[in-house]
Structure 1
Amino acid sequence: MKKSLLIGMSVMLFIFGCTSEKKDDAAAMVERIPEVEALLAQMTLEEKVGQMAQITLDVITKGENEMVSDEPLVLDMDLVRRAIVDYGVGSILNTANNRARTVEKWHTVISQIQDVAINETRLGIPVIYGIDAIHGTTYTAGATFFPQQIGQGATFNRELVRKAAEITAYETRASSIPWNFSPVLDMGRDPRFARLWETFGEDVYHTKVLGLEMIKGYEGDDISSPYRVASCPKHFLGYGTPLSGKDRTPALIPEIELRERHLPPFEAAVNAGVQTIMVNSGLINGVPVHASYELLTELLKEELGFTGLLLTDWADIENLHNRDRVAASQKEAVKLAINAGIDMSMIPYNLDFCDYLVELVREGEVPMSRIDDAVRRILNTKFKLGLFDTPVTHYEDYPLFGSEEFESVALKTAQESITLLKNENNILPLSKNSRILVTGPNSNSMRALNGGWSYSWQGEKVDEFAQDYSTILDAIRDKIGAGNVLFREGVRYDNDAAYWVDEAFDIPGAVRAAANVDYIVIVLGENSYTEKPGDLHDLTLSQNQIDLAKALARTGKPMILVLNQGRPRVIREIEPLMSAVVNAYLPGNFGGLAVADVIFGDYNPNGKLPFTYPMYVNTLVTYDHKPSENQARMEGVYDYESDFAIQYPFGFGLSYTTFEYSNLIVSNNELRPNGSLEISVNVKNTGDRQGKEVVKLFTALHYASITPDVQRLRRFDKISLEPGEEKTVTFTLTPQDISFINARNERVNEAGDFDVMISDLVETVSFIK
């Protein structure tokens, strides 16, 4: 096993270059805080190793075993003391029994944990508690839930993304928790991927910009503020594009692709001073990332200069032995991961990690300098969070928790995420005097609106906590009156089975009901899921849902398709049957209201697709593809299917008004290495109602030493225009913005021409070296 790992590592060394002379640079760059240094000088090896351990809450509660807790939830103080006093455990994560808790319960539990850590250990070092609060404080009852990250990406609204993160930070601190495992900076470039909806979408610049806004919202200028949390961008690096499209399966990503598509959002986060980062659970080019010194130390810590805390994902050190088989034992797995650059292990169920690591240090297999570096990073994070002064925040100090003020931001974000993809003959908005049949498995489900990481990991407990919110059916009834709405599910999910199982519950009943209505609103998509339970074999929408759509289409009644899904399920068979298509993504607790507002015209849609919507399961392409991905058929000579066949393009989204672009002006027809370009365009609302428009600037190199992408998003801005109003939008571009990774894996600018494109306007500029 060791030999095979060394072969894999030699490949990675070739890819990233051997920089062994820099091996001490990573530790040398980390800030020396006097209080932390004083603690380090007093700590035993066992105390240091304990700080590197993170266990899940179930391990220290009363219950059947370390995976099942009693209800009501009660800490087992003997187990708490064993973990924190005997082993010095430095971090705890997650909820118990996969269930949301009240702010009162969180305060009780975390206060008890911190009391033991501070008052019953030799040095009184507080625990750092972490949670996945990815679209609001997702494990706290009563918290404000926003659209999932893919929906926030569809808003293209920096301010809303930052504000949602600020509210999430506030409510997470109200829950006595200071550490949030968010944002996801993985690239959503494979529609099959079960965690696509946790990303901002497929574009590098878009992800980088919105990721920074989310980090800014979480951390602010000072994470010691009681209203801020430490963020934890994830998953470094290349997690979102496995070869099979399935979670935690191998990826083949050459360095040129890693640096061009996957690294920039993390690099921007590091440059912004992000406090912590979580590691990719998978393999890249045969090497588990958790065992890659080249990626974790040489690239992240030395080249990018990351000086914060580097955390594993769930049980991923154990996976080096159990699943990936690069370590012949669990002890060897610990050695590989810690020497690769891991600072804290999300264990999560046992304390063997601590015993193994102490042995490895004493045997000389892990240097003490590596332990000191890891613990320094951990203690620095705790110190900067203010945990030594205020280990527990109190919910009574957070009067805005779950407030109408916060909920109004969630509703606005949901509204701005809704993306109108089709509107034949301007059928939308519908009249409020219409009679409507509402149908489909997602039409009356809060679980489907929220998706995974909502009150529970898979979101299956949503209905228990979200009774006060409106499903799409509820919102339509409230909008036009229950007497004007008929409801037949037609197809329903089996919530006791895997998420993708649905059954043809009453398709004939839905067809009969359609005879008495003017329009059909059919709500299709997916039930909640995330990670491995979300893996699928076929991206096509389920057959039962397709059958329901086709049966209703035969009635001749106009149909409005609402898609409530975490990834773009293929709808090629039924899309032509629809008069309108609305993509709602996973819009959260206020998604029902937002969808109804759009359908009946109380809100003018302005969301834009953050991914390319595929038409076929075998044609999964992104907008920034190479020219050879789109080769027209040679009619009469060869009949091949190599065109860019998609359902809807990246950045697409309709409105109930119209916009006209004009007067594209570029300040200079030449760009030099130290120069910049000012680019302006006029945008006018030529319709009869107020609307918001996302102004997107793309560039396209004419020629380069490697085949250039057909286009790349470089800037965007969102503006609001009244009817007849015109605004000038201005952007600045620098040479860095049009640079690319060349065949030598270097970021370069090459002399030559490139196009600047906004809407259908194009200007050509020459880069002069």
Structure 2
Amino acid sequence: MRYIALALATGLGLSACATVPSAVPAQTSPVASAEDLAEAEIADIVSRMSLERKIGQLIQPQINSFTPEDMERYRFGSYLNGGNGGPYGDEFAPASEWLRYADEMYDASVKPLPDGEPVIPTMWGTDAVHGHSNIVGATIFPHNIALGATGDAELVQRIGHATAIEIEVTGIDWNFSPTVAVARDDRWGRTYESYSEDPDLVAKLGAALIVGQQGTPDSEDFLGDGRVFVTAKHFFGDGGTERGVDQGDVNGDINALLDLHGRPYPAAIDAGVQAVMASFNSINGRKMHGNKELLTDVLRGQMGFDGLVVGDWNGHGQIKGCTVTDCPQSLMAGLDIYMVPDDWKVLMETLIAQVKDGTIPMARVDEAVTRVLRVKQRAGLLGENAKRPSERGVAGQYDLLASLEHRALAREAVAKSQVLLKNDGVLPLKAGANVLVAGSAADDVGQQSGGWTLEWQGGRKDTLPRDYFPKATSIWDGIKENVTAEGGSATLSEDGSFEARPDIAIVVFGEHPYAEFAGDQRNLVFRDEEGLTLLRQFDEQDIPTVAVFLSGRAMWMNREINAADAFVASWLPGSEGAGVADVLTGKREATGRLSFSWPASCEGQPVNSPEGALFAFGYGRTLSDNSPLATLNEDCGALSVVEGSELFGSGRLGSGVSAFVGRLDGAGFEELMPQMRGDMNGSGVLVRGFDRDAQEDSREITMRAGSYFGLEQSNNTGGVYRIAYEVVTRPAGTIRLRSGNAVLDVTAQFELATAKGFREMVVTESCLAGLGKRIAFESDGDVTFRISSVKREEVAEGTECSF
């Protein structure tokens, strides 16, 4: 590796009067290596830091929870922007604001300290998991599951470099990527973050992305200009939880688990990865954030990792005996940085007290701080050559965001990731054809990009309109471009209607965006029948069809495959949808191959082998392969199972459910609140994400006098309403609950519940007769409360309301 020698520079790691400690030998033979000198100078810095400054290096808050003044006061070693965080409270801020904010935080972190104590620049971490995907106007590359289908390590390395360049443009130092999970159950909501079910393919592509972003170890380019340091995550076993439950349990023989889920990590370490993120999951009943045998003995002792270990979002708080603000167990287990988004101040105070009373040895604190400084030194953040974010490399060169070169790279990746599962001779599209493009996803860059795109959960065109993707191409754009170039015509009709009969119809449909636990599934049934209805509609009219399926996983699609003449697994292609059209029109060959087995059964049992797979790992047709596919069995017991009617849970609205707000006096129009989050100034309602058990799994709702807020189902599923809620502030006026024509005064119940934690209300016909598909809270005074879930369910007749 390349090591940048630390300079004795005031304000950049060492005070002007510092000297190399006497423990470092004089110039004798053999001469001390650059690595030895770097370690000695880091040791000198640590020896002169106060306890408060040391603990500050181990704390990582999110930008929405602190200010530059807090940075100057507490000197956090690092900070992050969460999936819905942005500079100055604006997640959609232009790139220039991200860079300005990086400078502001950096400047606050290097202001002189009293008594010559060394100052240490902070660093900013971000989740750029498929391109610099938090930034409006950046290149959004295909998600990892798509890159796995390319099988092309050289391509992935180039994507890594392009991503690092775009990250550096905005002044950010650190990327929480790549995910090197080996997903073994496609019901897991993070399956699309995994390259493959095959650990060797994951190891190869993960290492390639690391080299692309950091540069090659031992070269002058390592962590140089246009590079950022990265994180292999999540150590370990995140892709192997029981039933694919995010943050769940992984059980089995530890050596077998390490051979499968741990296999990508030695490759990542050999590639020079500088950080590893601890996983939320448990291994044989023990949470990883507190597992010393694995975080220290295996990761460091056996695998030889010498970088830093960072926690995940409040992951330390899930350890038995811990809270978010009190968890010495994580530090003692081998965690070096606590990711504590909001409760950083109390955690800092607790850790300082625990060092002072001997609960945490100072030697362990020094070890963790040393690891943090070692990574900063390698990344060029210490020493006389350290620079403000805006003065580094390509910082501020905004034309590099979604540059023509990067867009061409993304388009290449999209084309290489398309997996052709069926083709009855309709592909490639014939030159001069009259093509109809149908489906609500056809012209929706947000949907084709999936989760972790501008917002944590991603969004569709109703929440992420096209102007948020100024340089992108939708799948429709690409089809129109390619078809017209070949002398044909293309028409967009989301509902499939037409005046002139088309020669062929392309139906674009798929999963709506999601991230993490919000994407967990009970089975592999794709329930949204928009695409199926369109395919059958065209089939009845004898119009040939091509199905383009957008998804973050392989799913049971037998009905759609039967109804289509060609079926393409398009995954989540990102901002260059034209790459999909390149394959449909034959501009590029179909070279994508499944990196996950495609299920024959809808029930959701893990496949991961040819047995039980409709299409095995590695399957994929060329455009010339028109061999017939037998009619598939469409029987699926899970289709008849009513999964209940969860209106809101795990941080997202249920299918067919919308949130709405308005004014009781009728002023203005009722407004929808997509993703149940936002500030509707016209109504006086503010809804923001709140962490109850996991990141933004709940909502905090602030209502001003004269406002209302509610949820509505597209169909009335019946049953009582069961709501998990917490009242934060005592209502300043009457609070009512309304459903259908019935109204219930719940002021007294809210007053009683104030500041008493989460509780449950069950609203039945006994207190709110005629329950309908719509339920709303109305407020005559200011009030703040929280909701973590809203469900409709059947209960025994005569069940009373309860609060």
What's the TM-score, normalizing by structure 1? Answer: 0.70
In 1, Cα distance between equivalents of 2:302 and 2:48: 31
Q: Which amino acid aligns with 2:40?
A: P
Identity %: 30
Deviation at 1:552, TM superposition (A): 3.4
Conserved in 2, the CA contact under 8 Å of 1:514 and 1:557? Answer: no
1:91 to 78, 88, 101: 78
In 1, Cα distance between equivalents of 2:137 and 2:36: 39
Conserved in 2, the CA contact under 8 Å of 1:53 and 1:89? Answer: yes
Deviation at 1:89, TM superposition (A): 1.2
Conserved in 2, the CA contact under 8 Å of 1:432 and 1:479? Answer: no
| 2:331 corresponds to | 338
Change beyond 3 A, Cα 1:31–1:58: farther
Matches within 5 A, 1:215-614: 215-221=210-216, 222-320=221-319, 326-327=320-321, 329-330=323-324, 332=326, 334-350=327-343, 351-388=345-382, 389-394=386-391, 395-396=395-396, 400-424=400-424, 426-460=425-459, 462-463=464-465, 464-481=467-484, 484-490=489-495, 510=496, 513=498, 516-545=501-530, 546-591=532-577, 593-614=578-599
Instruction: Say which SS state the counterpart of residue 562 (structure 1) adopts.
Output: strand
Conserved in 2, the CA contact under 8 Å of 1:200 and 1:610? Answer: yes
| 2:801 corresponds to | none
- Residue 45 (structure 1) aligned with residue 40 (structure 2): no
In 1, Cα distance between equivalents of 2:271 and 2:552: 29
Q: Per-residue CA shift, 1:90-133, capped at 9, x if unaligned?
A: 11111425724333112211111111111244422100111111
Deviation at 1:570, TM superposition (A): 1.2
Q: Which amino acid aligns with 1:149?
A: N
Q: Per-residue CA shift, 1:690-720, capped at 9, x if unaligned?
A: xxxxxxxxxxxxxxxxxxxxxxxxxxxxxxx
In 2, Cα distance between equivalents of 1:271 and 1:405: 29
In 1, Cα distance between equivalents of 2:299 and 2:609: 26
In 2, Cα distance between equivalents of 1:227 and 1:85: 28
Q: Per-residue CA shift, 1:464-499, capped at 9, x if unaligned?
A: 411442222222223334993343323xxxxxxxxx
Deviation at 1:268, TM superposition (A): 1.6
Q: Which amino acid aligns with 1:261?
A: L
Change beyond 3 A, Cα 1:273–1:31: farther
In 1, Cα distance between equivalents of 2:94 and 2:614: 43
In 2, Cα distance between equivalents of 1:306 and 1:613: 35
In 2, Cα distance between equivalents of 1:98 and 1:246: 32
Change beyond 3 A, Cα 1:529–1:31: farther
In 2, Cα distance between equivalents of 1:344 and 1:193: 27
In 2, Cα distance between equivalents of 1:485 and 1:457: 34
| 1:117 corresponds to | 109
Deviation at 1:169, TM superposition (A): 0.8
Instruction: Say which SS state the counterpart of residue 244 (structure 1) adopts.
Output: helix
Q: Per-residue CA shift, 1:378-437, capped at 9, x if unaligned?
A: 01111111112124144346764432122211111111111111112x221111322222
- Residue 80 (structure 1) aligned with residue 68 (structure 2): yes
Instruction: Say which SS state the counterpart of residue 353 (structure 2) adopts.
Output: helix
| 1:498 corresponds to | none
Q: Per-residue CA shift, 1:655-695, capped at 9, x if unaligned?
A: 13579xxxxxxxxxxxxxxxxxxxxxxxxxxxxxxxxxxxx
Deviation at 1:604, TM superposition (A): 1.3
1:58 to 58, 64, 68: 64
Deviation at 1:265, TM superposition (A): 0.3
Deviation at 1:281, TM superposition (A): 1.0
| 2:619 corresponds to | 652
| 1:166 corresponds to | 161
In 1, Cα distance between equivalents of 2:624 and 2:267: 36
Conserved in 1, the CA contact under 8 Å of 2:583 and 2:589? Answer: yes
| 1:15 corresponds to | none
In 2, Cα distance between equivalents of 1:144 and 1:234: 22
Change beyond 3 A, Cα 1:245–1:284: same
Q: Which amino acid aligns with 1:34?
A: A
Question: Over aligned residue pairs, what C-alpha RMSD do you find?
Answer: 2.3
Q: Which amino acid aligns with 2:480?
A: R
Q: Which amino acid aligns with 2:563?
A: L
Deviation at 1:614, TM superposition (A): 0.7
In 1, Cα distance between equivalents of 2:191 and 2:342: 28
Stretch deviating more after TM superposition (442-451 or 455-464): 455-464
Deviation at 1:617, TM superposition (A): 2.6
In 2, Cα distance between equivalents of 1:187 and 1:445: 29
What's the TM-score, normalizing by structure 2? Answer: 0.67
Q: Per-residue CA shift, 1:516-539, capped at 9, x if unaligned?
A: 222121112112111122122332
Change beyond 3 A, Cα 1:412–1:564: same
Matches within 5 A, 1:716-731: none
Conserved in 2, the CA contact under 8 Å of 1:290 and 1:340? Answer: yes
Conserved in 2, the CA contact under 8 Å of 1:101 and 1:139? Answer: no
Conserved in 2, the CA contact under 8 Å of 1:442 and 1:526? Answer: no
In 2, Cα distance between equivalents of 1:575 and 1:287: 42
Instruction: Say which SS state the counterpart of residue 238 (structure 2) adopts.
Output: coil
Deviation at 1:223, TM superposition (A): 4.2
In 1, Cα distance between equivalents of 2:165 and 2:471: 22
Instruction: Say which SS state the counterpart of residue 584 (structure 1) adopts.
Output: strand
1:143 to 130, 138, 149: 138
Change beyond 3 A, Cα 1:547–1:658: closer
Aligned residues: 566
Q: Per-residue CA shift, 1:436-474, capped at 9, x if unaligned?
A: 222223212101111111122122254341144222222
Matches within 5 A, 1:621-632: 621-624=606-609
Change beyond 3 A, Cα 1:126–1:99: same
Instruction: Say which SS state the counterpart of residue 256 (structure 2) adopts.
Output: helix
Q: Per-residue CA shift, 1:157-181, capped at 9, x if unaligned?
A: 1111000001111111111011110
In 2, Cα distance between equivalents of 1:214 and 1:30: 29
Conserved in 1, the CA contact under 8 Å of 2:597 and 2:609? Answer: no
Change beyond 3 A, Cα 1:302–1:435: same
Matches within 5 A, 1:601-750: 601-618=586-603, 620-624=605-609, 644-657=611-624
Change beyond 3 A, Cα 1:396–1:540: same
In 1, Cα distance between equivalents of 2:536 and 2:212: 45
In 1, Cα distance between equivalents of 2:324 and 2:454: 33
Conserved in 1, the CA contact under 8 Å of 2:239 and 2:261? Answer: no
In 2, Cα distance between equivalents of 1:87 and 1:266: 33
In 1, Cα distance between equivalents of 2:362 and 2:178: 32
2:95 to 91, 97, 103: 103
In 2, Cα distance between equivalents of 1:365 and 1:198: 38
Structure 1: gaps (5+ residues): 1-28, 61-78, 321-325, 491-509, 626-643, 660-769
Conserved in 1, the CA contact under 8 Å of 2:178 and 2:233? Answer: yes
Conserved in 2, the CA contact under 8 Å of 1:605 and 1:654? Answer: yes
Change beyond 3 A, Cα 1:622–1:112: same
In 2, Cα distance between equivalents of 1:398 and 1:387: 22
Structure 2: gaps (5+ residues): 1-34, 627-803
Q: Which amino acid aligns with 1:116?
A: A
In 2, Cα distance between equivalents of 1:396 and 1:195: 33
